[in-house]
Amino acid sequence: MIRNQRLFASSATRRLLTQDGPFHVEGGEVWIEGLSCREIVKPLGTPLLVYSAARVRDNIAEVTAAADASAWPIRIHFALKACYLVGVVSLLQQAGLNVEVISEYEYLLARRVGFSPAQVVVNGPAKRPEFLERAVIDGVSLINVESLSEIDFLESLGRRLGRTIEVGIRINPILSRRLRGPFAPPGSKFGFDVPSGEAATAVKRIARSGFLSLLAVHCHSYTRQYRPDAHRACAVAVVKFLRRVEADLGIRIPVLDFGGGFGARYLMEAHGQTFRQFMRETLDPLVGLAGDRQVIVEPGRYLVNDAAACLTSVLACKRTAHRRWALVDAGRNILPPRENAEYVVMPCQVSPGRTQYHVGDFLCMPSEPVPLSLVSGPMGPGDLLAVFNAGAYTFSMAQDFGEPIPNAILVDKGEWTWLFKKRSVEERFMR
C-alpha cells in the first residue's frame, strides 16, 4: 500500500479496536476473542499467527447475505490460495461455501477439508494434464481454460472418454489504463485478450467442438479493491463480449465468473462500502441479459485477511541518523513481502506517545514485509506487537527462511486450538 493508503488503514484499524468485536482493546491491551495477546503468547512464543473464528464466521455471514440479496443467483467460491490452514478453511466449508483452486495440490487439500468435486472451480494459466483429467473424471463444477493447448487437451480427453466436457474461458477485456487490473495488462499470461480477437477465436474453437461445451466466461483483473468501480467496468466489458459472441454463434453462456480481488472487509467498510453494496453495483450491468444467468465470485482476502493477526516480539531497537527501528522476530517466514499486502502494525500494550518507529524483520537482508511503521511511546526488546490483516497470503506463501514457519492457532469463544505447529530442524530436514 502507498503511504496514504497505509495511513487510512492504520486509522481504520484503530477504530476497529475500539469496537466490541473479536479484536479489541481492553484495559490498555489488545485482546482476541476473550484472550489478551500477552497471555496468548506466554505458552506459545512468537511469532504466532492467531485467527479469530468469530471474525471468519462474521465475514462468511456478510458474503452469504450479499448473495441472498442479489437479483442473480451467486455462488461463493473461497480462493483457497489465500489460506491453506485446514482449521480455517473448514469453517468456510461447514458454512456451505464452495472453493476455487489453482492446482492439483490445492484440489487435494480442498477434498481433504471436505469439499465435493461439484463445489470446485479450477483456475490457473497453466494446469498439468493429469490434473485436468482428474478434475474432469471427478466432476468438478467448472474448469476455466486459459490457452488453446488446454482446449486441445480437453477436447481430446472428451473424445477419449466419449463425453462432452463443460468449460469456462478466461478473458481479458483490457480496460482503460485507469481501470486496467494488474493481472491483465496487454499480453498477460492469463486468459485470452479481447481486443486482439484471441478471446473470440477461442470461443469459436470451443463452440464448434463436438466434445466441449462453453458453460462460463471468467474475468479476474484486480486485487485489493474497496470500491466497485473497476469491477463494474469489468462487468460492463464482459457483458459486451457476451452479447457479441452469443449473437454471432447462436449460443448462450449461462455462467459469469467475476473472480475475486476484494479488499479486507473492515477496510472496505471504512471506504463506505458493504459487500452487498459492492456486489449490487458490480452486477448492475447484467440487467437486460437474456435468459437465466448465474454468477460466481471467488473472495479470498475478504473472508480471512482481517480474521488474523501475527503477534511478534521486538528483538532490538536502534536509532540511526534517519529513523528509529524496532526489529522483530517475524519475517518472510510468516509475513511474505507483497505489494498488495494490507499489514497494519500496532503495539499490543497501548503506550501513549508520539515516537515513530519503523518496523523491520530480523533477516540479514533488506526484506521488510512492507514499509511498516507505528507511532508509540518508548519501545524496547521484549515488547509485543500485532500485525493485523495477516490472515490471507501469509501461511500459504510462508517459507522456512532464517526461521521456520511459526505456530498458528485458532481462537474460538475464548479457547485456542492448533492450526499448525512449528517444525524443528530435525522434523524439517532429518526425516
Is residue 267 helix, strand or coil?
helix
Neighbours of 162 (CB within 10 A): 7
On the question of pLDDT at 229 being above 60, the answer is: yes
Mean pLDDT across the stretch 177-188? 69
Mean pLDDT of the chain: 94
Euclidean distance between CA atoms 417 and 431, whole angstroms: 26
Mean pLDDT across the stretch 193-213? 96
Cβ-contact 83, 89 below 8 angstroms: yes
For residue 339, the model assigns a pLDDT of: 81
For residue 184, the model assigns a pLDDT of: 67
Residues 6+ apart with CB under 8 A from 130: 104
Nine cell digits for residue 93: 466449508
Residues pairing with 407 in the sheet? 48
Domains of the chain, CATH where assigned: 3-52+305-429 (2.40.37.10), 123-299 (3.20.20.10)
Residue tagged 480427453 (cell numbers): 157
Side-chain half-sphere of 301: how many Cα atoms within 13 Å? 22
Calculate what percentage of the chain has a pLDDT beyond 70: 96
Centroid of chain to Cα 340: 11
- What's the alpha-carbon Rg for the chain, to the nearest Å? 23
Cβ-contact 308, 390 below 8 angstroms: yes
pLDDT one-digit tens code per residue, 260-274: 999 999 999 999 999
Rounded to two decimals, the pTM is 0.96
Which amino acid belongs to residue 246? E
Cα-based angle 239, 173, 195 (whole degrees, multiple of 5) = 110
For residue 369, the model assigns a pLDDT of: 62
Is residue 100 helix, strand or coil?
strand
**Measuring CA to CA, which residue among 418, 345, 421, 408 is closest to residue 9?**
345
